[in-house]
Structure 1
Amino acid sequence: MLSFDSCLVSDALERLGLQQGIAGIIRQSTGKRIFGAAVTVTLARSDGTVHKRHLGTTAIDLAQTGDVIVVQHTARDDCAGWGGLLSTAARAKGIAGVVVDGLVRDIDESEELGLPVFSRGVTPVTARNRVSETATNEPVTIGGVMVMPGDYVLADGSGVAVIPHDRLDEVVATARSMLAVENGIRAALARGVPISQAMNETYETLLKPKS
């Protein structure tokens, strides 16, 4: 899957009538593309209760090597929903990366660790006393897209795409066929074919739903 980018996967999802890529969540650290099964976290505005476990720690403990932590952090837009100590633990666990629908902090530390973190922005403001975890490995909504535990997440410099776990083979086959068409266009351009001819109706109909 890492040979496909998020744009191609988004197109394949759209062609199959599934929810396409997520806008606005961008890569904040490293230049890496990630792919893995989702372990989800839900955050909510804190009610003042002091919790025995910090947010995200349960998900890290549950995650397997190569998984992606996905955090729904939409209750507040003035604090982080992920930070450096979590990144340190995630990196040690072999987690592929982290996707947060909200803000994160300690992004320089994540960069130094080599852990890809994707979010809507960054802030130095802590989550403590502001947000708390309400669920781990339950369905979350990220950028309007439902993510179930075990769904597959692909993220890179263009954004994030989520593949339902039971549709992976279908999405891969569709993406592969679409990539073949795009590579044919690239080859034509390399031969000097004008782009107005190379990107003809074949390209324009690539998103036509599969029958």
Structure 2
Amino acid sequence: MTGATVGTTGAGRTGPDGVPLRDRIARLDTCALSDALDTLGLAGATTGIRPLWPVGEAVVGTVRTVRAGPRQHGQPAAHIAAAAVDSAGPGQVLVIANDGRLDVSCWGGILALAATRRGIGGVVIDGACRDIAESEELDFPVFGRAVVPVSARGRIVQLGMDERIEVAGVPVQTGDWVVADRNGVVFVPAAEAERVVGLAERIVRREEGMAEAVRSGQPVDQVMHDSKFPSVEE
């Protein structure tokens, strides 16, 4: 995950070896984090959300939440995520909850341009976006469910910002960590980050040993037995 965009929340916290938490998270992929969350009985890994253009590097950062939904009146309204873009910055990732809706966009090219100018690391959408070619040209990472040409204008609006939302059934709030790569998107609750990251690091070390055992000729059915994987108690 070299070169990933890394968040600032929790940056001062360090592990036993003195490495800042943000750097430790940036060394992990979504698979290791998902396994750690599973083992700890925590929600965090999503399904159905993927990079909407071939993003080369993983996105890692702290979350700024936006909640979108159906227009409730006929009055003009601020555009979805515009205020979040204007107030976010480097190391932060916008996360837009639109209930997985696929028939209307809640992110587009002008927002991507503005987010790039603010140094925002990317956007994760539980729904659809449009103008994806513009985001790719800007090298701005977009993760979501679909690309459509249909505008949000007159259909959906922003209902909230910096509040608790759900993304693919996972509770997320501003300040949580997000990792998005070619495998998908995982959220790590800020309050559980140390515990999740520590276990994910152990999982990575164990899997590296397992891979070496396979290379040395050990049968994979023995190497990958359930007893070989880290547990919470270890």
Same-fold status (TM-score > 0.5): yes
Separation (CA, whole Å) in 2 of partners of 1:183 and 1:202: 16
Q: What residue number does 2:7 align with?
A: none
Question: When the two structures are superposed, what TM-score results if normalisation uses the length of structure 2?
Answer: 0.84
Amino acid at match of 2:111: L
Q: Does 1:93 align with 2:127?
A: no
- In the TM superposition, residue 39 of structure 1 has moved relative to its aligned partner by 0.4
Q: What residue number does 2:80 align with?
A: 55
Q: Unaligned 5+ residue runs, structure 2?
A: 1-24
Residue 61 of structure 2 aligns to a residue whose secondary structure is: strand
Question: When the two structures are superposed, what TM-score results if normalisation uses the length of structure 1?
Answer: 0.93
Q: What residue number does 2:93 align with?
A: 68
Residue 89 of structure 2 aligns to a residue whose secondary structure is: coil
Q: CA RMSD in A?
A: 1.6
CA separation of 1:51/1:150 partners in 2, compared to 1, >3 Å: closer, same or farther? farther
Separation (CA, whole Å) in 1 of partners of 2:74 and 2:117: 29
- In the TM superposition, residue 49 of structure 1 has moved relative to its aligned partner by 3.0
Q: Unaligned 5+ residue runs, structure 1?
A: none
Separation (CA, whole Å) in 1 of partners of 2:174 and 2:219: 46
The answer on whether the counterparts of 1:84 and 1:109 sit within 8 Å (CA) in structure 2 is yes
Amino acid at match of 1:41: V
Amino acid at match of 1:178: I
CA separation of 1:136/1:190 partners in 2, compared to 1, >3 Å: closer, same or farther? same
Amino acid at match of 1:159: G
Q: Does 1:194 align with 2:222?
A: no
The answer on whether the counterparts of 1:6 and 1:156 sit within 8 Å (CA) in structure 2 is yes
Q: What residue number does 1:26 align with?
A: 50
Q: Does 1:106 align with 2:117?
A: no
Amino acid at match of 1:123: V
Cα deviation code 1:40-62 (max 9, x no counterpart): 10101113434352111111112
Q: What residue number does 1:125 align with?
A: 150
Q: What residue number does 1:152 align with?
A: 177
Q: What residue number does 2:103 align with?
A: 78
CA separation of 1:159/1:134 partners in 2, compared to 1, >3 Å: closer, same or farther? same
Q: Does 1:135 align with 2:135?
A: no
Separation (CA, whole Å) in 1 of partners of 2:165 and 2:80: 15
The answer on whether the counterparts of 1:91 and 1:113 sit within 8 Å (CA) in structure 2 is yes
Residue 118 of structure 1 aligns to a residue whose secondary structure is: strand
Amino acid at match of 1:168: A
Residue 186 of structure 2 aligns to a residue whose secondary structure is: strand
